[in-house]
Structures are given as structure tokens and as C-alpha cells.
């Protein structure tokens, strides 16, 4: 046989092997657009932080709302870093997103926000007999948080800015594990702390602390300074940018199911709390406290409000120096938020 022909056949054979290998590798990766279970439901992997405020996510799984929208959802535990890794690798299709991830989004994290989930799940507290009456009194004080740059610090920094306080220079931030914040407060090592629920709420319910920031609907009505804060979305539906681009119908189904579950939780806070505790979705096993917290949030799906709240939060973060000074907020919002 002619050597040239043999050479061409060899090259074609090698190319076929390589293409087959690549195809096999791609099919072994999770492709939510093509993977379905025996019931014809699309397989989706969503991340969870195991937080009280993620009640709609758990309700959608347990009640069959996700199945109603054609989805077979698997939940995986995440933190900020594993969420980033999961999105980059395609192993995670979405998660509930808070302002703690907005800096990463500014830096290129490939996730799209599609709706709001609920308002206020961060609370700031001071000792029960403290002279501090509002966020405006925190200038010069020591504030405990779980992480520098974490969600509690970000949201409280925004409120400090509204009160004319420079969050970088006018307060001292001290980091503790969330379970140790109350002890630090009682010992006087810090003057206040901001934390995810239920830590601040537990300190209040035990008579050890008083709220100055967060869900002010049901108590501390004399503190009107933070009413706007609790009315803003603090958590959003987040869908992988890859899913949003390659399979918008799937992104829409995830969003609509989440929104339907949020409405159910709004109407049934006690049932939602019972579900999260009995199924061990949350770390706190106090059904009464979780029910109270869920009842204080406002779970609703309002894409227009969510987009506007995103813009306002990003602008405040830029003003506080959390985002880069040259970031185009309008463009960032348009690139990040998609509506269905």
C-alpha cells in the first residue's frame, strides 16, 4: 500500500480514538441538560449551607415542588470555596446566594441571580444593658463577626455607611466562630456582634442580648434605623452561568420551583420549621426558634425588586470599598441578574 495512504489512514485512526476519548470524558462529566432519571426528571445538583433561611430549598425537595417542575434535585453541603469550585467544575448547578459572594461575582464567579428568596437573615446584637441603641452608636466599638469579608460583616458595613461610619477605620472587627460570639459578648471582649441566624436570636431569647440590626418587625420597635435593611433581599436564587447559557429552560425551572417553595414557606412557617428540624437540614434543633425566625423573614419572589436590591447593595459595597472603585455597577447588575 502507498506509504502516503497508510500515513493518512493512521492519522485518521488516531484522530478517531482521540475524539472518542474526548467524547467519553465529556459524557462522564455532569451535563444537566441531558441527564434524566427513570421518571424522566432532569438531574440537578444544588448546594446548601444548612441554614434556617434555606427553608424553601428543603421544602421544595420534601414536598415534591422540584419534581413538579421536572427536576430531580440532589443537595450537597457547601461553603464559599466549595461553591466556587463546584460551579467552575460543573458539579453544582445552583445555590442560594448572599452578598458575601458579590465580591467573587465582581471577580468573575460564573453564577447568575434569577430572583430573590427572602429578606433579612443576619442579626446584629449588643448586651441587654448596653448603652448602644442603634447601628449609629457603633463608632469606635469592637464588633464580632465569623469572618472578615463574610456576609454579616458586609451587611453591617453597609448599615454603618448609612450612619456615616467608616467600616474600615471607625470600628474594630474581631473574628470568632459563630458559636463563640455570645460568650465573647458576655465577657466584654466585643461590644456587639453580627451573625447568621439563629446565633443572634438565641442570645436575645436567652435574655443576654438586644437586637440593633436585622429583623426588626416583631420586636425592638423603637429601633427604626434598620427598617430598610430588613426589607432588602439578603438571599437570591443563584443558577450556574453554564446552565443559564446552555439550558435556560432548566434555569427557569429551578427558579420557578424555588419561588413556589418560598411562597409556601411564607404561608406555613411552622410547618417549614418542623420540616427543617425533623429532616436534620439545619444545625440548630430548636423547632420553636426556627419557626420564629422563619416567620420574621419575608419569603417572596419579586424579580424586579430583587434586581433593584442587588444594585443598591452593590453600590453600597462599592462606597464602602468592598468592591473596586472602578467597577461599573450598572454593567455588573446587567451581567449578573437574569429574569424569566
pLDDT in tens, the chain (340 residues): 544 444 444 444 434 433 333 333 333 345 444 588 878 899 999 999 888 889 999 999 999 999 999 999 999 999 888 999 999 888 999 999 998 899 999 999 999 999 999 987 888 999 999 999 999 999 999 999 988 877 788 889 888 988 999 998 999 999 999 889 999 999 999 999 999 887 898 899 899 999 998 764 444 333 333 444 557 888 999 999 999 999 999 999 999 999 999 999 999 999 999 999 889 998 666 788 888 888 888 999 999 999 999 998 898 888 878 899 999 999 999 999 998 8
Q: Are residues 82 and 143 in the same domain?
A: no
Which cell numbers hold the place of 125?
446584637
Q: Determine the Cα–Cα distance for residues 81 and 68; give it in Å rounded to an integer.
A: 31
**Contact assessment for residue 121 and residue 230, using Cβ atoms and an 8 Å cutoff:** no
Q: Is the peptide bond before 279 cis (omega within 30 degrees of 0)?
A: no
- Do the Cβ atoms of 303 and 114 come closer than 8 Å? yes
In a domain, 9, yes or no: no
C-alpha closest to that of 198 among 337, 77, 54: 54
| Same domain, yes or no: 153 and 295 | no
Buried b (16+ CB within 10 A) or exposed e, 198-208: bbbbbbbeeee
197, 123 in Cβ contact below 8 A?
yes
Domain containing 201 equals 122-214
Query: What is the SS3 assignment for 297?
Result: coil
Asked if 113 and 241 sit in the same domain, the reply is: yes
Same domain, 248 and 275: yes
Residue 161 lies in a domain: yes
Q: Are residues 187 and 103 in the same domain?
A: no
Using only C-alpha atoms, the chain has a radius of gyration, in whole angstroms, of: 23
Query: Which of residues 214, 244, 262 is at a domain's end?
Result: 214
Q: φ and ψ at 75, to 5 degrees?
A: -95, 140
Joined grid coordinates for residue 338: 437574569
Q: What is the DSSP string of 129-183?
A: T-S--SGGG-TT-EEEESSTTSHHHHHHHHHHHHTT--TTTSSEEEE--GGGHHH
Residues 95, 50, single domain; the answer is: yes
Tell whether 244 and 332 lie within a shared domain: yes
Residue 181 within any structural domain of the chain = yes
Query: Which residues contact residue 257 at a Cβ distance below 8 angstroms, ignoring those fewer than 6 apart?
Result: 60, 65, 66, 68, 69, 71
Q: pLDDT by residue (tens digit) across 51-89?
A: 888 999 999 999 999 999 999 999 999 988 899 999 988
C-alpha torsion sign, points 9, 14, 17, 19 = negative
Residue 107 forms part of a structural domain:
yes
Q: Which of 214, 242, 263 is the last residue of a domain?
A: 214
Does 111 map to a domain?
Answer: yes
Which residues, other chains included, contact 186 with Cβ-Cβ below 8 Å and sequence gap of 6+? 127, 208
Q: Are residues 310 and 256 in the same domain?
A: yes
Q: What is the count of structural domains for the chain?
A: 2
Instruction: Tally the C-alpha atoms within 13 A of residue 235's C-alpha that lie toward its C-beta.
Output: 27
- Would you give the DSSP letter of residue 86? H
Q: Are residues 244 and 311 in the same domain?
A: yes
* 204 and 152, same domain (yes or no): yes
The reply to whether 140 falls in a domain is yes
Query: Residue 26 domain-assigned?
Result: no
The answer to whether residues 192 and 263 belong to one domain is no
Domain stop point among 183, 214, 245? 214
d(C-alpha 298, C-alpha 160), whole Å: 23
Q: Is residue 12 part of a domain?
A: no
**194 and 280 together in one domain:** no
Q: What is the CATH number of the domain that holds 206?
A: 3.40.190.10
pLDDT score recorded for residue 285: 61
Amino acid at each position: 500500500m502507498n506509504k502516503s495512504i497508510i500515513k493518512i489512514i493512521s492519522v485518521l485512526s488516531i484522530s478517531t480514538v482521540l475524539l472518542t476519548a474526548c467524547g467519553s470524558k465529556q459524557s462522564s462529566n455532569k451535563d444537566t441538560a441531558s441527564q434524566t432519571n427513570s421518571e424522566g426528571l432532569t438531574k440537578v445538583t444544588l448546594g446548601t449551607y444548612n441554614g434556617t433561611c434555606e427553608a424553601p430549598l428543603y421544602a421544595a425537595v420534601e414536598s415534591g415542588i422540584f419534581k413538579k417542575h421536572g427536576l430531580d434535585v440532589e443537595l450537597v453541603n457547601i461553603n464559599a470555596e466549595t461553591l466556587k469550585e463546584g460551579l467552575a467544575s460543573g458539579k453544582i448547578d445552583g445555590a442560594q446566594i448572599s452578598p458575601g459572594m458579590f465580591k467573587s461575582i465582581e471577580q468573575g464567579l460564573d453564577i447568575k441571580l434569577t430572583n430573590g428568596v427572602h429578606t433579612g437573615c443576619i442579626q446584629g446584637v449588643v448586651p441587654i444593658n448596653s448603652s448602644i441603641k442603634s447601628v449609629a452608636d457603633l463608632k469606635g466599638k469592637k464588633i464580632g463577626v465569623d469572618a472578615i469579608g463574610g456576609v454579616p460583616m458586609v451587611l453591617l458595613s453597609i448599615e454603618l455607611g448609612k450612619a456615616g461610619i467608616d467600616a474600615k477605620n471607625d470600628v474594630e472587627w474581631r473574628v470568632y466562630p459563630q458559636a463563640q460570639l455570645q460568650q465573647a459578648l458576655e465577657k466584654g471582649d466585643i461590644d456587639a456582634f453580627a451573625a447568621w441566624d439563629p446565633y443572634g436570636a438565641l442570645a436575645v431569647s436567652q435574655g443576654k442580648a438586644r437586637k440593633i440590626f436585622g429583623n426588626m418587625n416583631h420586636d425592638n420597635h423603637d429601633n427604626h434605623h434598620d427598617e430598610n435593611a430588613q426589607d432588602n433581599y439578603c438571599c437570591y436564587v443563584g443558577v450556574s452561568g453554564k446552565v443559564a447559557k446552555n439550558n435556560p429552560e432548566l434555569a427557569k425551572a429551578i427558579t420557578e420551583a424555588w419561588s413556589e417553595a418560598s411562597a409556601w414557606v411564607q404561608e406555613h412557617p411552622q410547618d417549614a420549621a418542623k420540616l427543617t428540624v425533623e429532616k436534620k437540614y439545619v444545625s440548630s434543633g430548636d423547632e420553636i426558634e426556627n419557626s420564629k425566625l422563619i416567620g420574621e423573614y419575608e419569603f417572596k419572589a419579586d424579580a424586579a425588586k430583587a434586581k433593584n436590591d442587588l444594585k443598591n447593595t452593590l453600590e453600597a459595597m462599592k462606597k464602602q470599598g468592598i468592591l473596586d472603585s472602578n467597577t461599573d455597577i450598572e454593567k455588573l447588575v446587567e451581567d449578573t441578574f437574569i429574569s424569566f
